[in-house]
A and B are shown apart, each in its own frame.
Chain A
Amino acid sequence: MRSHRFYTPWLLMLPALVWLALFSVWPAINTVTLSFTNVHQLTGGHFIGLKNYWLLWNDPHIRDAMINTVVFMVVCVPLLTLLPLLLALLVQRQIPGIAFFRTAFYFPVIASAVTVALIWKWLLDDRGLINNLAQSMGFIHKTIPFLTDRWLLLLSAVALTVWKGLGYYMLLYMSALGSVRRDLHEAAAVDGAGTVRRFWSVTVPGVRGTMLLVSVLIAVNAMRVFSELYILGGRTGGVGGQDVSIVMLVQQAASGSDGRLGYASAISVFLFFLTAVPLLFLTRLNKNAQEES
């Protein structure tokens, strides 16, 4: 007995298929094609071979963006892998009022990157709360140039990213913690393992899979950063324009009265290959884990 006519699936899927073709598959192909041309927003263009990639290789801004991306990853991956796990442990137990705390911890995730970046910009301002507080308490005598120094601005953006990401990864860990085995915890406790010891040898191995996924997500997201640096750096990537991200270079190349779409696409292709690295790493590790078991 057939449950449906042969065309029913295709009919029901039509909207999704159109969107799949138009806004996922075609743009992916077209980005690669565009990257071999010098197409401009208004004037068009033609095939120029690998010239965009040669330009990219020699672009000093790309070097800055790569350095910034590495800094983002090096700080974000360990912090955002570990802190949200601790946070998840903290909010896991049903105690009175816990729903309020969970919701509030998720607030920075809900808020747009633009609003939280504006909030932090005011906190970190030369005459903002943090500088004033530190000065009135006598910790410092000169203002700390959070928003004008190349490295301080970068680290501020990293701190903002960590702060905004905590709740999101906390949620991912919370579902994983449900599968940590209680008997192992008890057995370890009997053997005299303290809280810290049990955290490292029972809880962490129990959520290992999620941890791996989370750290890959963090690495990929670190490569995609845009709004935080854009707002904190005053739209130009800081005073010297060195606090740029890869996505910001894409945006800079494409905007303006006659955007260089070809060059922007070449940067996009480069970005794709970067983000593919952690994902490949994850599939490889998953495959190994499957073979072991």
Chain B
Amino acid sequence: MSATTAEEPRELQDPRLGTKSAKSTKRQNALRHPDRRGRSPIFDAPTRTGLALRYLTLVAVLLISIGPMLWELSTSLKSKAEDVFTQNIELLPQHPTLGNYGEVQRTIPVWHFAVNSLTVAAINVTGNIIGATLAGYVLARLKFKGRKLLLGVFVSTLILPAEVTIISKFQMITSMGLGDTILGVCLPDMIAMTNVLLMRNAFLALPREVEEAAVIDGATTLQRLRFVGLPAVKGTLSVISIFAFIGAWDDFLWPLLVLQTPDKLTLTVGLSYLDGQWSHDPRTIAAGTMIALVPILLLFMVLQRFFFRGVSEGAIKG
């Protein structure tokens, strides 16, 4: 976690500095605030009430952030016999059923959509891992003519929001004959310039001496990238992979423009048509929403350790 790693060294340092300083600050603290006033919520150990208040606030925020999702989940499990519009609100379904998920499946080819989304995500993750690693390594570690200029070009693309060039990309994809295809959806984002720069930053942190030693040992560029570079940038690599997957799975505007044929849609586009166009039942729409939501949340929960660790290593998307 980013914040803790920043704080941990400090906590680790204290014992190393010797007991003297720790003791003296403790005494000073006691001298300074006998009534324990002016405690820092960030740095001081929490009091019991302070801790209880903290947990209370955490739970309140938790309700706000995932409460709506839980309500949608509950709605998706309610049977047709249950009135979902009533003012007698039932938080939990009385007779939980998966019937609505079957209803989604009968209304739209939802598994087909899921496979399409998964395909786009897999291609984007692979493309970004390969493309961004190679280019990031070159930009960070190899000397060649025009490197500064090239780096400038990469950086300057960052000020260009994706939406600005979307029409031109759309025209290009259709003129390539890739309109209304999954490949057309994948292609533009297969190597994102942001990821190239993130990988460059990660490779920059590697000490030069290690690499020079490898050069003297006769390692080729690719060997150095594989055995010296890659092990040091795992954190950033996992962050760009997670971002590439989520970005592709969640993307909406671009596939909405490119895809038309119903069985080629990705999940987000399919869901946008399900709502109001192919279904008016909130239970069915809720079930469809859950099919898009649950996998990505589960994936994130499994990978969150790598994600937060990578973020703390400096891989944050701006």
Contacts and interface: CB of A to CB of B under 8 A. Distances in A.
A12 B275 CA distance: 45
Nearest to A3: B215
Contacts of B207: none
Contacts of A129: 71, 89
Given A19-B191, A175-B311, A90 B57 contact: yes
Contact of B252 (A20, A34, A112, A122): A112
B85 to A, nearest CB: 4
Interface string B14-41: 0000000000000000001100011111
Secondary structure of the B side of the interface?
Answer: helix
Interface stretch (B95-103, B104-112, B132-140): B132-140
A23 B6 contact: no
Contacts of A16: 131-132, 134-135, 191, 193, 196
Given A3-B215, A41-B174, A94-B4, A114 B296 contact: no
Secondary structure of the A side of the interface?
Answer: helix
Interface in A139-188: 163, 166-167, 171-172, 174-175, 177-180, 182, 185-186, 188
Nearest to A194: B38
B231 interface: no
Interface string A252-289: 00110000010011001101100110010000000000
A247 B164 CA distance: 8
Residue among B64, B143, B168 with max Cβ neighbours from chain A (10 Å): B168
A186 B28 CA distance: 11
B232 to A, nearest CB: 17
A93 B42 contact: yes
Contact of B32 (A92, A108, A190, A279): A190
B43 A261 contact: no
Contacts of A171: 2, 311, 316
Interface string B127-171: 100111011011100111001001001100101110111111111
Contacts of B3: 88, 91-92, 174-175, 177-178
A90 B61 contact: yes
A92 B1 CA distance: 9
B69 A119 contact: yes
B286 A122 contact: yes
A9 B253 contact: no
A53 interface: no
Interface string A92-105: 11110011011111
Contact of B61 (A103, A105, A111, A172): A105
Contacts of B157: 20, 24-25, 28
B2 A3 contact: no
Given A115-B271, A123-B71, A185-B42, A12 B138 contact: yes
Contacts of A279: 159
Nearest to A18: B191
Interface stretch (A57-65, A74-82, A226-234): A226-234
B165 A31 contact: yes
B65 interface: yes
A75 to B, nearest CB: 17
Contact of B257 (A13, A119, A174, A251): A251
B318 A276 contact: no
B72 A119 contact: yes
Interface residues of B, number: 113
Nearest to A283: B159
Contacts of A113: 250, 252
B221 A4 contact: yes
Given A24-B157, A171-B311, A182-B10, A235 B272 contact: yes
A24 to B, nearest CB: 4
B7 interface: yes
Contacts of B246: 110
Contacts of A182: 10, 40, 43
B282 interface: yes
B276 interface: yes
B153 A25 contact: yes
A43 interface: no
Contacts of B316: 171-172, 175
A87 interface: yes
Contacts of B304: 99, 103, 106
A251 B256 contact: yes
B170 to A, nearest CB: 6
Interface in A210-254: 213, 217, 220, 223-224, 226-227, 230-231, 234-235, 247, 250-251, 254
Given A90-B57, A106-B300, A189-B40, 14 more contacts: A3-B142, A15-B131, A34-B168, A90-B58, A110-B246, A119-B72, A132-B85, A178-B2, A189-B39, A192-B37, A220-B161, A231-B275, A234-B276, A272-B161
10 contacts: A12-B221, A24-B193, A31-B165, A88-B3, A90-B61, A107-B300, A121-B275, A178-B6, A250-B163, A272-B161
Interface of A: 1, 3-4, 6, 8-10, 12-13, 15-17, 19-20, 22-28, 30-31, 34, 39, 41, 87-95, 98-99, 101-108, 110-116, 118-123, 125, 127-129, 132-133, 135-136, 163, 166-167, 171-172, 174-175, 177-180, 182, 185-186, 188-190, 192-195, 198, 203, 213, 217, 220, 223-224, 226-227, 230-231, 234-235, 247, 250-251, 254-255, 261, 264-265, 268-269, 271-272, 275-276, 279
